[in-house]
Each structure stands twice: as C-alpha cells, then as structure tokens.
C-alpha cells in the first residue's frame, strides 16, 4: 500500500521568501486574509487560485482572476500539479512540492517489464504466431509514434494510438484507460467520459464499467509502473489474476503505462481470447515504447487545449471591450455652455469587466450622470451593460427621480438576470438652476463631493444592487451643489488599487486627498490626475481592476 501523499506550497519569489505551507485537502491562494496562502502581490485577485487534492492527485484552477495565472511559463486556466511545478501570479512565484513518499504513479519508476505465465490446459502453441525482427520492431515503433506526434485533439489522438498500435502488433482487442483519483482506479477519457476501445479493427466508446478487462493487471501497471505480458505457460503467479483471466477466457494480455513527463496518465491495455494468438515480448517492447510516446502526446494535447481555451477567452475579452467602447460616450458637451462641465473615462485592466458610465441632458435645466458595474467578465457582461445603457437612455429623458430610474432598470435587469448576475448603480441628477442634486445608490460606492474648502462622501448606498430582487427599496439623497462644486463617481478599481510593497489599498482617503488639491480643475483634468496617481501608487504593477470615473462640475 502506497503512503499518503502530501502537497506543499513554497514561496520562491515573494515575501517572506521560503514560506512553506501544506495544501491539505484544499487551499486557496489570494490577497485576502481568509485565503489559506495569502500573497502580498497587487496583481493577485482576492481569491486567485484554488488547489484541491483528489486522493493522490492535486488539481488547480484559476478562480476567474483579473490578471491570470502562469504555470511553468504558460498562461493556463487549470490542470494537474506535479512535483516541482511553478505557479506565477504577478511577481509572486510558488513552487509545488510532493513529499518523497509519493506513490509510483505520481513519480514513476524507470520502465520495467514483467512476464507472467498462466496455464490454460489447452493445445495452444505460442510459436504459431511469429514475432517481429529488430528492424520490423523499430519501423513499427517509428510509424506509430510519428502518426500520433502531431495530433492535439485528445479523443481522436486516443483512437489513432489504438488503430496504429493494434495494426502494428496485429492485436485483437485493446483500450486506453486513465488513472483515477487513487492509484488503482481506472477512469474514462476526461474529455468524452467514455473509454476508447478497439476490437478487430473497429473503434468503439463505452462506459468504464462496461469494459471487461483484467483489473489486476491494470492495477499492477498503475501502481508499479511496469509493463506486463501474460501468456499461456506454466506459472504460479497471482491466483487472483489467473481467476480473472480464466473468467474472461483470455489467452494473452499486455498492459503498459502511458507515461507523461512526471507521472503515469493511464494504461494501454491489449488482450486476446483467440486460440491462435499470443503476444510476444517484441509486441510488449513496441507497446511500451508507444506508451511512453502516447502519454506525452496526450499530455501535450491537454495542454494544447488549455492554451486554445485561453486564446478563446482572450479573444472574447477583446470582443467584449469593443462592445463596451461602442456604447460609452466619447464626445462630451463643450464647457462653453457656462452652466456645467462633465467628463468620464474608463481605463480597463487586462480583463474587460462590467464598468460603465453615462451622461444624459434630461431637459433644459437638468443633467444626469450614471456609473455602474455589472458582475462578471467577458461578452455576456458587456451585452448586459449595453442593454442596461440603452434602457437608461430611454428612461432618463422622462423621469427626474433617480430612484424611479433605478426601479425601471431593475425590473428589466431582474427579468433578464441569469446565474446570479447583478449590477451596482449610482445615478445623480443636477438642477442647473437651483443646484439641487438628487442621488440614488444601488450597492455602489458613495459619490465624492468636492468643494473649494472640503471634500465629502455623499449619496451612500441605500439598498442592494439592481437585479438581485424584483422589488428593492432605495431612497433619493439630496444636497445642494454651489457654483464651482464638483461631484465625482468612481468604481472599485480606483479605491482597491494596491501598493506593491505594503499591500495597502489606495482607498477613499487617497482619492479624497488627490481631489482636495484639484478642486478648481475641470472634470477632465481631475480624472486624469486621479488615474495618474493610481497608476503611480501601483507601479510597477498595474491596477488589477478597471478604473472608471465620471465627474460633473457646476459652473
């Protein structure tokens, strides 16, 4: 019985360097104190990566982080961890370790061969089927490995392995099984969730429990890492194996490991129940060579699919950003009106999020500014944002009360909302004649009122975000803006920007400090200065979330 496997994370680059923590059954890596492994890196998300132990195998996955995760130099979303793998998050590097007592299928032994013989009490003659000459063996091995070397689709790759191998050894029946959660469990293909099999040249897929094979032989290969050949000579080998072979009426069995870079992915299993068929040692050598190459090919195919998935996501992000830019205002009213100035801008992080802003000239005496953040990332979020802005522009022209506008938006958003999607919103209207400001806040950050002698947080959230419930309750906040006063709305990316050394957030205090010194500046210059201050605060890293602001100044 193999010893229990323990995984550890070692902080290779970061503070404190050399910190080592056990993974246990699971661990989350991120910035917040509730994470099992807290890293002080501004590029890290609050909950960035999760590692989960499944028996003796450790799986990791990116938890939808803003800046992504790099494994061994390649940006990936998830996968299986091996001893020595390096996880990079921003400037932080974590090394994954497995203690020395890990079982063989995680740290495979050098290739070994075992030939056991069983007696059938028949007149079967193993010499009836000639073996391969050395030249034929090399040619067959080259032919098989060459055929599978450029296939990066996991399912078709397995079919190709079976077809080419069985043709080379003139095999009767075979299949590819993957290692399960423990070292003796067989699992189907991780893509189609079926076992790829072949019989008499015909490819089939079946449920793992429906494929009858010698499980003892399979377990022996998975746990010991050896290639096994059974045929009909007298032997006192494993009686359990003999029982299973007799029950299945098998005449010959070969089973070899599918070796990846640092583990055994599964097995290539071949058997026969014909009286005139016995697999030879040359057949076993060929299958073992195929197993080594096939394991690497399957591993490469899985990595290739992860890279393609990452590229698909990045392309989706690019499309999402195009959608967002198409709906955000780019041309702003001239300051020459003499009554107000307004300007908004969004600076995206690497991943396009759901930040947005808008401005509306309600009537001759009223203007409004809106800011919000739709939960999630990518195209679905951008489409929801676009629909919400279209609804807002239609509603805001005939409804003055911000609360009533938010209620109208909430009704449509709640009907469309799927999988928990919601939206924080803050909408403010200004009466240009009287200076009366009305503001409704649905779960968003408060507004920052900038006066010549002070700054103040106003318009705090009075209810939950839009889209959460059918009938939320919000309240209009009211205050007066004098000439020269500016109101600034902003998203989480501004105040949650982190210092690379201390890990402290820029915060509302940092925003207020910058705004206080710029109270006389137009909105465009104010927003530019805040963005520059946030960028400098995070340097050399970048803000990990979108930085979006809109400011309105009464003249």
Give the pLDDT score at 378: 65
Tell me the CA distances in angstroms from 108 to 175, 177, 224, 362, 458, one per residue in order.
Answer: 21, 17, 8, 71, 63
Which of 46-55, 142-151, 256-265, 486-495 is the least confident region? 142-151
- pLDDT level of residue 462 (50, 70, 90 thresholds): very high
Give the pLDDT score at 487: 97
pLDDT in tens, 468-525: 888 899 999 999 999 999 999 999 889 989 888 888 899 999 999 999 989 889 999 9
Asked if residue 116 has pLDDT above 60, the reply is no
Q: Which residue from 258, 256, 298 is spatially nearest to 156, judged by alpha carbons?
A: 298
Give the pLDDT score at 374: 85
- What does the block give as tokens for 231? 């045929």
Going by the DSSP 8-state scheme, the letter that residue 210 receives in this structure is G
On whether the CB atoms of residues 355 and 489 are closer than 8 A, the answer is: no
Measured in Å, how far apart are the chain's first and last C-alpha atoms?
Answer: 80
Give the pLDDT score at 138: 67
- pLDDT level of residue 422 (50, 70, 90 thresholds): confident
Query: Residue holding tokens 């290779």?
Result: 12
Residue 491 vs residue 123, higher pLDDT: 491
Asked if residue 119 has pLDDT above 70, the reply is no
Give the pLDDT score at 8: 92
pTM of the shown model: 0.53
| Domains of the chain, CATH where assigned | 6-99 (2.60.200.20), 134-302 (3.30.450.40), 328-554 (3.60.40.10)
Query: Residue holding tokens 């070969």?
Result: 254
pLDDT in tens, 177-218: 998 876 567 899 999 999 999 998 999 999 988 888 888 788
- pLDDT level of residue 118 (50, 70, 90 thresholds): very low
Q: Which residue from 390, 343, 349, 275 is spatially nearest to 552, judged by alpha carbons?
A: 343
On whether the CB atoms of residues 263 and 171 are closer than 8 A, the answer is: no
Give the pLDDT score at 335: 57
Asked if residue 321 has pLDDT above 50, the reply is yes
Tell me the CA distances in angstroms from 93 to 37, 58, 84, one per residue in order.
Answer: 12, 18, 12
Give the pLDDT score at 509: 92
Give the pLDDT score at 234: 39
Q: DSSP letters along 345-373, please?
A: EEE--SS--SEEEEEEEEETTEEEEEEEE
User: Mean pLDDT across the stretch 386-402?
Assistant: 87
């Amino acid at each position: 019985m193999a010893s229990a496997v323990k995984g550890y994370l070692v902080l290779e680059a970061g503070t404190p360097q050399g910190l080592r923590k056990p993974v246990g059954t699971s661990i989350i890596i991120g910035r917040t104190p509730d994470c099992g492994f807290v890293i002080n890196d501004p590029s890290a998300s609050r909950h960035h990566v999760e590692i989960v132990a499944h028996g003796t195998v450790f799986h990791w996955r990116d938890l939808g982080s803003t800046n992504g995760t790099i494994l061994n130099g390649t940006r990936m979303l998830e996968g299986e961890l091996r001893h020595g793998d390096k996880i990079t998050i921003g400037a932080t590097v974590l090394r994954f370790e497995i203690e020395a007592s890990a079982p063989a299928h995680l740290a495979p032994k050098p290739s070994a061969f075992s030939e056991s013989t069983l007696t059938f009490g028949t007149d079967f003659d193993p010499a009836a089927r000639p073996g391969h000459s050395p030249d034929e063996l090399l040619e067959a091995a080259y032919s098989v490995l060459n055929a599978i070397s450029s296939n990066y689709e996991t399912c078709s790759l397995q079919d190709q392995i079976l077809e080419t191998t069985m043709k080379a050894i003139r095999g009767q029946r075979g299949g590819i099984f993957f290692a399960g959660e423990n070292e003796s469990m067989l699992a189907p293909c991780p893509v189609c969730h079926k076992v790829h099999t072949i019989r008499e040249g015909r490819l089939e897929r079946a449920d793992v429990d429906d494929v009858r094979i010698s499980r003892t032989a399979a377990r022996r290969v998975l746990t010991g890492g050896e290639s096994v050949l059974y045929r009909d000579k007298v032997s006192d080998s494993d009686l359990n194996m003999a029982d299973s072979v007799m029950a299945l009426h098998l005449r010959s069995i070969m089973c070899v490991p599918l070796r990846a870079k640092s583990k055994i992915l599964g097995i290539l299993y071949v058997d026969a129940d014909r009286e005139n068929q016995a697999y030879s040692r040359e057949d076993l050598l060929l299958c073992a060579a195929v197993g080594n190459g096939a394991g690497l090919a399957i591993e490469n195919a899985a990595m290739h699919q992860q890279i393609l998935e990452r590229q698909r996501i990045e392309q989706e992000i690019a499309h999402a950003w195009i959608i967002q830019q198409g709906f955000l205002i780019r041309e702003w009213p001239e300051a020459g009106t003499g009554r107000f100035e307004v300007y908004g801008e969004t600076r995206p992080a690497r991943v396009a999020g759901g930040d947005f802003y808008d401005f509306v000239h309600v009537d001759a005496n009223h203007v409004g500014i809106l800011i919000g953040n739709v939960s999630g990332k990518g195209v679905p979020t951008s489409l929801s944002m676009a629909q919400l802005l279209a609804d807002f522009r239609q509603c805001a022209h005939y409804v003055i009360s911000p609360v009533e506008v938010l209620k109208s938006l909430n009704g449509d958003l709640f009907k469309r909302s799927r999988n928990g999607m919601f939206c924080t919103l803050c909408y403010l209207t200004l009466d240009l004649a009287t200076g009366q400001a009305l503001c409704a806040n649905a779960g968003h950050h408060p507004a920052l009122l900038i006066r010549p002698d002070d700054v103040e947080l106003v318009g705090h959230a009075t209810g939950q975000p839009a889209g959460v419930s059918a009938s939320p309750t919000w309240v209009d906040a009211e205050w007066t803006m004098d000439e020269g006063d500016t109101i600034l709305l902003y998203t989480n990316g501004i105040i949650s920007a982190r210092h690379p050394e201390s890990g402290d957030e820029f915060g509302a205090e940092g925003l207020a400090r910058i705004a206080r010194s710029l109270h006389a500046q137009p909105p465009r210059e104010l927003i530019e200065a805040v963005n520059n201050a946030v960028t400098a605060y995070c340097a050399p890293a970048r803000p990990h979330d979108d930085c979006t602001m809109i400011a309105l100044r009464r003249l």
